[in-house]
Amino acid sequence: MPPARRQRSGRTVWKSPVLYLGILLVIAVVGLLAAPFIVDWNAYRADLEAYGRKLTGRAVSIDGAVSARLFPWPRLTVEDVRVASPEGMDVRDFATASRLTVHMTLQGLLQGGIDVESIDIQDPQVNFERLETGEGNWVLQPSADLVNSDILSRVRLDKITLAGGTLTFRDRRRGETVSLDDISADVASPGVAGPWRLRARAVYDDRPVTIAFNTAAFVKGQPFLFGVKFQAADNSGKVYSFDGAYRDGFAQGDVQVAPAQRDDGKGDAEGQLRPLIFTAKARGNFDQVDFTDIQVAHDDPGDATAIATGSASLRLGRHIDARADLSASILDLDELAGAKSRDVLREAGSLAVIDSLLALLPKDMSLDGRASVTSLRSGGQTFDNVALAVTADRQRLRIERFASGLPGRSEMLFKGSYFSAPGGGELAGDLGLEANDLREFVLWLWPGARDSLGPLWTGSRGRLKLQTGLSLTPQGLRLTGSAFELDGEAGTGALAVTAAGRGAVDLDLESRRFDLDAYAPQGIPAVQAAAEQGAGGVLGVVLPRPDAPDLRLKVRTGELLMNGVSAQDVALDLQSGANGMDLRALNIGAVGGASVTASGLILDNGRGADGSVSLDVKADDPGQLIRLMGLAGGDGLPPWARNLGATALRADLAVKPGEGGSLTTLKAGGTAGQLTVSATASVAADNRLTGTARIGAPTSSRILGLFGLSPAGQDAMPGSLAIDLEGSLAAGFATTATLQAYGGRLDYQGTVNPLQDGYGLGGKLSLRATDAAPLLAATGMPLSGAAGGVLVGDAQLAWGDGKWSLSGLAGRLGTAAFSGDASLTSAMVLDARLQTGTLRLADLLASSFLDWSGPLTGLETGFATALPFGLTGQLWLTPATLEVHRAFTAQSASVGIAAKPGEIHFAMLGKDAEGRDAQLDLTSSGTGESRQLSGKLRLPVNLAQQLALASGAPVASGKGEVALSFTSEGRSPVAALAAAQGQGSFTLDGVRLTGVAPAAFTAALAAAKDASGIGAAFAAMREGPGLEFGAVSGPITLAGGEMSFAPLTHTDGDADVTVTTVADLAQGEIDVDVGLALKARPGLPPMSIAYAGPPMALVRSENNSEIATSLGVTIMQEGINELERLQQEQARLAKLEEQQRAEDEARLQAYYAQRDELLLRRRELKVQAEMQVMEADRLRRQIEAEHAANAEINKQEIRQRLREVRTWRRLAEAAAAKPTFGQSGEATPQPAPARPAPARKPQKIGPVILAKPPGAPVIVSPPPDRSFSQ
């Protein structure tokens, strides 16, 4: 480029305005970046503090550094900022912050506004304070010129962030300080006037919480709207919220307390109460808060019905006065109470609940409350018209009135006070109670007795009126000055129950009459090992023992009605405890002619126990006394207590101190009817007891009656029971016991411990009898035959695993040995396995399913509803052989008998001599005398041994098996067999029917010429080799006690055979019908052979009269066949001669016959039905008559035929000898006569019975060659 051109270009660039604009922009950017480092922003500290004073009306100080940045993002940072409190406040600073950073937009500054993007406040502290005068330090007063200017409207606050903050509220009027620590919050607002939005997390009372605060925009002269929500940070507990407005010094709006919702949408499961929502209208200030329209409802959108409504108020001061008035129509505490609430009430009791509720009240708060519930449900019960009025503070609860309807149509009224104390509070006051259904009230008040007392209290519901003083503490209960009226009988009493230490009960009752029968008409049981509701439970309390509670019992009544017995002048005065027993008096003046007196004193004098107790019982018949003691059941006296007769018993208990301790002796003796009783015992200082007891009776049945057994039949064999023991309750007793009855002797040598399970039994049992027949007869076993012989048995008895066990059981009955093991639980559950000699299936079935009422005499004995003695469980028997029936004895057999309530099951398995299986399963079930039976049967069959005539000859032969499933119902075996239903099948091989030989019959009949030959043919059939059926099978049908087998058929050239078998189970008989269609001659009628009766004593019968008659006629017919042929020839010739003459006449009569026939046909059609019925009946009678006289008719017919033959022969000879002459008198040769056409053999057409539906009249058609008029 030329130099001139270059010079002109340089001058052009410097003259361009773009260059100068770029230079200005660079200088501006450099200035903005360097301003924070060049400008001293601390010089603006005074301006910032002055602006803060205008903004808050308070002294504002910035004690830290001030810094700023303009580019690229404007930011102002000040440190250690403080806003002072008004004069007179305890706290110097209203608010402080360690650092405050304001982020603004550059665009806003350039436009003359302040657009705050965010404000970060580090470690803010805000101190709210309320003076005793009610003034607060939170009211800010900005300067008037600032308020009137528009500068605040140009400030936008997009986001304010607080970190590490603390908020403290000090109420000097109430002396209370509340603080929120570790506050982290986000605050946003479009301007200083709002609306403001705050979301914060903080720690309150060491628990993280979240806070939400929202406001509307502040408008001067209008209510300031705001809302606040407070809840735990982990979404547990409650959510507290308020939504309302503030105006003229009062806040007014809606308050809500609701369960927190977890992240999964479920409510808090803390378990104190079911989720509830509390809502109310609230209006108040720092002096008073009023709640109206209070509603408590379920936290369920589908059920928003209010549970309770009411109002409340709080007067706030140094002391808070609270008033509340709530009401509910229906309140279900069972539904509202959570698991934790129920646990607290169950474990700590109601007093602990009152303590916990009072502890919730602030120390400086008192409560005046009223509550009413129309229907309150708690513990499954409904309480009506519940009203409660209380005044309370943290130390004391005053119950002005507590009234409620209670279960059992009862009402109560209580007035009293509850005082808190470190060791447990006390509830004391006056209680009035009226129960119109005492039973229901007692079972509600004492739920633990429902199972024991409920079954006893089945009579009158009872009515009670009670007025008493009440004192309840955690240590015990006291009822003092009690006056009651029980079903119109007035009485007085007092009760004190102490739970401390061993416990103590002091009961004093007095009334003119106690009628226990009115409440327990079925009676109250006596001492029972498993019945705490009986007298046994009472004795367990009063008898002295180391841990026995201190008991003082004093009862006086003029009449005691119990167990259906009236006892007069009953008095009991007893004191007992760990140191002894003082039985001051036990008197029963009169009870059914019997009297009881007892008294005594046993104390520990330091050297040991010393004293005595005596008991006297005298009665003409102790039955009423036994009933009073509850020893009689609903069916009357137990067997051992029946017919005792005059009774006189005395027992003396003496305790004396000795060198090693006290020595106790007991002597008792007397008579009770036929029984003689004596017993002695002594207890040493080491509690070792030695004693003997003897009971004798003139009969064995009487001695067994002591055990509740009722032997079958009567006896005159004496019986006795002897017991000797030595030991202690702790270690048990070495015992020897001997029971003699029915000529047998049962010995036990071992240990007994009544305090242990199973009575601590362990030892050897031995049973001996020279003849077991009386023993077996006494059991009532339903045996089909006599059983007896020497009986020897030994076993070891022990208790373990909840059952008594007999191990090593071995012995013999007669010559048959038995062995095995058995066990029995206290609930009479048996588990036994025995190996025995030969047994009979019939005896086992009878013993399992029939009543044990004596020897089996027939199938009419009733079914048993359970095994004897109430046994359940199982019994397995392995006999050497098992006689299933007389012709079958099973080998390798096993029998199982199992029983449970309402059901008995019997199972049998075995094999026959050939190894075939035999099986029987039978079940009897039901709850009444009528039993439902079901079973399965599978038995091998040998016809040669199981079907025989009375003579012993077999009826058939063949082997196989029968299978059957059946059901039935009845009260006895015979009824069950008659009603049996079922089905099954049979399979047989090599079946041959003896006494039936059709082939022999055919051969013998071929040579028969007369009646003797026919008889010989039948004899040959009976004596033949029999009829072979081979392998057969088929179904079995059982209906109505009748068992039907599928018919057996056999067909050959000699006969068609059908065998039908039916068995009647109830009668024990079988019916076999053999139908024979013999083919020795054509057209022979059938015959039958029947076998009927018991299977091993069948009777044979034959029905062969018809076939015998038919054969006799056939043989005679063969003798006159020739005569019949000649008769037929004569008839033919006569017919030809008559035919020539009749042909002409027939033509003439044809016309008339046809006309007459048409007329006759018309009349005959009208009476055809009647004629057919009459003809059928006539033919039936004729056939029956002709059949009866067949033999005689045959003889007459033969004689007649012989005469006719002779007559026709003479006529033929005379006709042949007579000459023929012409008209001239000379012999004229005649042409040879034409050979007549062979005559047709006349055919006889009998009446025909037309097929008709069942019930239709029988129509008999006449032969076609007969007219209707003939």
Q: Could you tell me which of 338, 341, 283, 339 has the C-alpha nearest to residue 314?
A: 283
If one compares 268 and 550, the residue with the highest pLDDT of the two is 550
Q: What is the per-residue pLDDT for 1227?
A: 44
pLDDT at 741 over 70: yes
Instruction: Band the pLDDT of 680: cuts 50, 70, 90.
Output: very high
Q: What value does the mean pLDDT take over residues 705-726?
A: 81
pLDDT-above-70 percentage for the chain: 83
The answer to whether the pTM exceeds 0.85 is: no
- What pLDDT digit, counting tens, does each position of 1087-1097 carry? 999 999 998 88
Q: What value does the mean pLDDT take over residues 879-885?
A: 89
Length of the chain counted residue by residue: 1270
Instruction: Band the pLDDT of 725: cuts 50, 70, 90.
Output: very high
Residue 96 CA to residue 79 CA, distance in Å, equals 10
- What pLDDT digit, counting tens, does each position of 315-354 carry? 887 788 889 999 998 888 777 765 555 555 555 456 666 7
Q: Could you tell me which of 574, 457, 468 has the C-alpha nearest to residue 516?
A: 457
Asked if 258 and 277 count as a contact pair (C-beta separation under 8 A), the reply is yes
Q: Are residues 1051 and 1084 in the same domain?
A: yes
Question: Is the alpha carbon torsion for 139, 140, 145, 149 positive or negative?
Answer: negative
Residues forming a β-bridge with 739:
721, 746
Asked if 946 and 1020 count as a contact pair (C-beta separation under 8 A), the reply is no
Q: What is the per-residue pLDDT for 8?
A: 44
pLDDT at 32 over 50: no
Q: What is the per-residue pLDDT for 639?
A: 66
Asked if 541 and 495 count as a contact pair (C-beta separation under 8 A), the reply is no
Domain assignment present for residue 78? The answer is yes
Residue 354's SS3 state is: helix
Q: Are residues 92 and 22 in the same domain?
A: no
Q: Could you tell me which of 415, 508, 548, 520 has the C-alpha nearest to residue 462?
A: 520
Q: Are residues 111 and 31 in the same domain?
A: no
Token pair for 323: 């008033």
CA-based end-to-end distance of the chain: 170
Domain assignment present for residue 1184? The answer is no
523 — phi, psi (to 5°)? 105, 160
Instruction: Band the pLDDT of 173: cuts 50, 70, 90.
Output: confident
Domain assignment present for residue 509? The answer is no
Q: Are residues 972 and 1078 in the same domain?
A: yes
Q: What is the per-residue pLDDT for 153?
A: 59
Neighbours of 555 (CB within 10 A): 17
- What pLDDT digit, counting tens, does each position of 232-241 carry? 888 888 899 9
Residue 297 CA to residue 304 CA, distance in Å, equals 6
Give me the number of domains the chain comprises. 4
Q: Which H or E element spans position 479?
A: strand 476-486
Residue 278 CA to residue 299 CA, distance in Å, equals 9
Residue 1228's SS3 state is: coil
Q: Which amino acid makes up residue 1260? A: V
Q: Are residues 173 and 127 in the same domain?
A: yes
Domain assignment present for residue 890? The answer is no
When the pLDDT of each residue in the chain is averaged and rounded to a whole number, the result is 80
Q: What value does the mean pLDDT take over residues 524-532?
A: 49
User: Residue 791 gets which letter from DSSP?
Assistant: E
If one compares 1063 and 578, the residue with the highest pLDDT of the two is 1063
Lowest mean pLDDT among 484-488, 531-535, 1264-1268: 531-535
Q: Which H or E element spans position 273?
A: none
Domain assignment present for residue 1064? The answer is yes
Lowest mean pLDDT among 654-668, 1076-1090, 1209-1223: 1209-1223
Q: Are residues 96 and 211 in the same domain?
A: yes
Instruction: Band the pLDDT of 961: cuts 50, 70, 90.
Output: very high
Domain assignment present for residue 915? The answer is no
Domain assignment present for residue 689? The answer is no
pLDDT at 968 over 90: yes
Q: Are residues 94 and 77 in the same domain?
A: yes
pLDDT at 1234 over 70: no
Q: Are residues 208 and 59 in the same domain?
A: yes
Residue 849 CA to residue 906 CA, distance in Å, equals 9
Q: Which amino acid makes up residue 366? A: S
Domain assignment present for residue 402? The answer is no
pLDDT at 653 over 90: no
1058 — phi, psi (to 5°)? -130, 125
pLDDT-above-90 percentage for the chain: 20
Question: Is the alpha carbon torsion for 1025, 1029, 1031, 1036 positive or negative?
Answer: negative
Of 1071, 1087, 1119, which residue constitutes the final position of a domain? 1119
Q: Are residues 19 and 93 in the same domain?
A: no
Q: Are residues 33 and 50 in the same domain?
A: no
Token pair for 201: 């997390």
Token pair for 1041: 């006690």
Q: Are residues 17 and 124 in the same domain?
A: no
Q: What is the per-residue pLDDT for 26?
A: 43
Token pair for 302: 């589908």
Residue 209 CA to residue 528 CA, distance in Å, equals 62
- The residue behind tokens 């803060």 is 52
Asked if 165 and 184 count as a contact pair (C-beta separation under 8 A), the reply is yes
Q: Are residues 211 and 88 in the same domain?
A: yes
Domain, as residue range, for 971: 962-1119
- The residue behind tokens 């047994």 is 839
